[in-house]
Amino acid sequence: MTRFSAYFLMNPADVIDYVKEKLTFFKSDAELSCEEIGDGNLNYVFRVVDEKHGDSLIIKQAGHTARISDEFKLSTDRIRIESNVLQLEDKLSPGLVPMVYLFDDVMSCCAMEDLSDYTIMRTALLNHETFPRFADDITTFMVNNLLLTSDVVMEHKEKKRLVQQYINTELCEITEDLVYTEPFYDHNNRNELTSGNEEWIKSTIYGDHELKLETAKLKFSFMNHAQSLLHGDLHTGSIFIKKESTKVIDPEFAFYGPMSYDIGNVVANLFFAWANGHAHGNQDFTDWIENTIEDVIGLFQEKFLYKWEQEVTELTAKQAGFKEWYLKEVVADTSAVTGLELIRRIVGLAKVKDITSIADSEKRIEAERICLTAAISFIKQRSQLLTGQDFVAVIKEADNMIKSRKVM
């Protein structure tokens, strides 16, 4: 028995003792310091550094409630899910996730590679930095993880065992509520509307029956379409980046769901960066984002078809025309998820800094309206969007619509 034989929420001093007891990572004469550096909505993230030799690692621990609000009571099993998924993703997409050194079921924590020489992508995008490798890396990550965990490739009983292993009840409930439900209803919600935009949002979102009907259909698809093992929360805050490398972190929302959920999250969060660049009049940056969105969709389609040919095992999926049909469905659903993510981060509880950091209130209201107008098109017209260029055209059209209404 040690003091880490029963769960408690650690502070930095506890973490130093924990690391000394549980890991052989640091040298015997290490001089350890520790700081809590988490800025996410759910967990505690500690960085442990050996001040003498410069080695470092991360300890991530789950609490019984979310950091963002005690209202969310959550199983600490999410750390098991995160550790296992990171290890699986490292096999499927080598070099694109941090290494996991240890998973501890009792303390509900894991130890992993410290990526402090990287920047959280959302922070870098807020500084209007650009990353030439991003589209290539993220599409490799998504194609490998999503296609190779699907029934197209996996033996079906083995795939069903993975579905079981990654049942993620509470975190799925968060997504069902915060993404697919609350942003569309004026009651039983935790929505936070920006001052000055309340009436516009109420009539444009809450008042749109057709939109609500489509989001109801999409919610049931999210809950019932066990297509691939998703990351489940693939926004730019879940990505560490530098010019020459990309690492995806935080797959605690992982479960078997529609693959479009990951792709649409990436695209929507690039649009938030676009909206920030647009509000600040930085056209070089918005041009780069537009090219990157076109590349994310285009490279995903290209790599997906190529990988399908290499990896498909299911006889019926080899039928001529099937893979093109399958991919078209994925792109249409990606459009819908892009719209859902754009709406929920503006109307709902968990906001993004790309929008909230726009200091000029008129510009923020305009950015929100452009994103929401585009979002409605992404949802309603999802089956008409076939290429990355089609996706970019939607935000430009929304921009023109909002500008022309302002002039009138």
Residues near ligand SR1 (CB under 6 A) are: 41-42, 66, 68, 72, 174-175, 178, 233, 350
Strands 100-104 and 239-242: unpaired
Amino acid at the residue 268: A
Describe the crossing of helices 260-279 and 134-142 by its angle, rounded to 10 degrees: 160
CB of 48 to Mg ion, least distance (A): 20
CB of 143 to ligand SR1, least distance (A): 22
Distance CA 323, CA 301 (A): 11
CB of 40 to Mg ion, least distance (A): 4
Q: Any residues with CB less than 8 A from the CB of 228 and at least 6 apart, and which?
A: 145, 146, 147, 149, 150, 256, 257, 258, 259
CA atoms within 13 A on the CB side of 280: 18
Residue 174: contacted member of Mg ion, ligand SR1, none (CB under 5 to 8 Å, by partner type): ligand SR1
**CB-wise, 154 or 355, nearer to ligand SR1?**
355
Scanning 24-32, 242-250, 296-304, 352-360 for contacts with Mg ion by CB under 5 A, the matching segment is 242-250
CB of 257 to ligand SR1, least distance (A): 14
**CB-wise, 89 or 252, nearer to ligand SR1?**
252
Q: Is 250 in the site for Mg ion (CB under 5 A)?
A: yes
Query: What is the SS3 assignment for 36?
Result: strand
Residue 401: contacted member of Mg ion, ligand SR1, none (CB under 5 to 8 Å, by partner type): none
Distance CA 334, CA 385 (A): 9
CA–centroid distance for 205 within its chain = 23
Strand order in the sheet with 245-248: 119-120, 239-242, 245-248
Q: Which two tokens stand for residue 83?
A: 């550790």
**CB-wise, 120 or 299, nearer to ligand SR1?**
120
Q: Is 82 in the site for Mg ion (CB under 5 A)?
A: no
CB of 239 to ligand SR1, least distance (A): 12
Q: Which positions from 26 through 65 interact with Mg ion, judged by CB under 5 A?
A: 40
**CB-wise, 221 or 265, nearer to Mg ion?**
265
CB of 352 to ligand SR1, least distance (A): 10
Distance CA 208, CA 180 (A): 15
**CB-wise, 41 or 291, nearer to ligand SR1?**
41
Sites of contact with Mg ion (CB under 5 A): 40, 250
